[in-house]
Structure 1
Amino acid sequence: MGFIARNFLDKKGVKKKKQAPVSPWDWQVELRSPNQKHLAKIAQGCEIAMGAPSMGVLHLNGKPIEPYANASIVWSDDSTLLAVPVWTNGWKQVVKVFTIDGQCIFQSKQRYRVLELHDFENGIIKGIDSPIYQPKKMELFVATERL
C-alpha cells in the first residue's frame, strides 16, 4: 500500500496530486503525508461487526497514537496534521486531529455514523458521512486550540 493519488488543479491552475479517499472498510492503510516526511499506518485492523467498517491501532511515524481508529484518514494539505475517524461508545465516530508528534489537538463534538474523509485543506475537513446508506456530505472546521 502507498500513496494513492488523483490529479487536480490548484487555485493557480497548477496540476497537483491529491490523495484518493481511503475506504472505511479497509483493514489496513499506509499513508504518507503530502511532503512524504511522515507515515500514518494501521497494519492490521478488524471489522467492528461482520461486514461493518474497520477499526485498528493507528501508528504515526512508528508510534501508536489511537487504538480505535478507522482507516479513512487524511493528511492536511501542509503535512502538519492528521485527521482520523475514531470509534466511540454506541458505534458512532468522532473526528480527532493529531499533530505530527502524535498529540491530539482537536476532537469533534458532532458524532457520525461512518466517515469517509476526502480532504483536509485550510483547516477544513471534508468527506461523506455514511457513504453507502443515505450518504451525507460533511464539512468540519478545525479549531486549532489545544484540548
Structure 2
Amino acid sequence: MILPELLREIENRGVQLVPAGDRLRFRPKRNLTPELVAELREHKAAILQTLKMREGVDPARIEDAGEVLEMARAYFGLLPEDREEPPLPEPEKGHDPLVHRHTAKARFFRGVRGRDLEKRKREGLPPWIRLVNAQGGGGGR
C-alpha cells in the first residue's frame, strides 16, 4: 500500500497517529487490523517524517494560492466555461455609477443650500439663522 493511501485508510477508521520522538503512537488500537499494524511498522520512518511535517504547517497559511484557487474552482464549478452569465463589464471611464450618484447628491444639496440662503436674504435674516416652518420643523419652504 502506498503511504498516502495507508494514512487515508487509517484516518478513515478514526485512528489518530501521534509522533513521540522516534516512536509512533496510535489510538484507538481496536480500529486497526493486524495488516494495517504491519504496514505501520513497515513505513514507520516515512509516516513519522510526514506527521512531523504536518505539525509544522500552519493550516491558515496558503502556500500555493494558484493550487487552492484551482481546487476551489473544481469543487464549486467556478471555471469560466461553467458560468451562467458573463462577468460584469468594466465601467466606462468617467461613468462610474457611484461617482455619478455622489455628484448628483452634491449638486442637489448645494442647490438646496443656495435656495435657503437666497430666502434668508429676501427676508432680511443673517445666513446663520435657521428657518423654521409653522409646525416647528426645519427648512421652511
Give me the TM-score of the superposition, normalised by structure 1: 0.19
Answer 1 or 2: higher relative contact order, Cα 8 Å, separation at least 6. 1
Q: Which has the higher helix share?
A: 2
Q: Hey, which of these two has a bigger chunk of strand by percent? A: 1
Greater Rg over alpha carbons, structure: 2
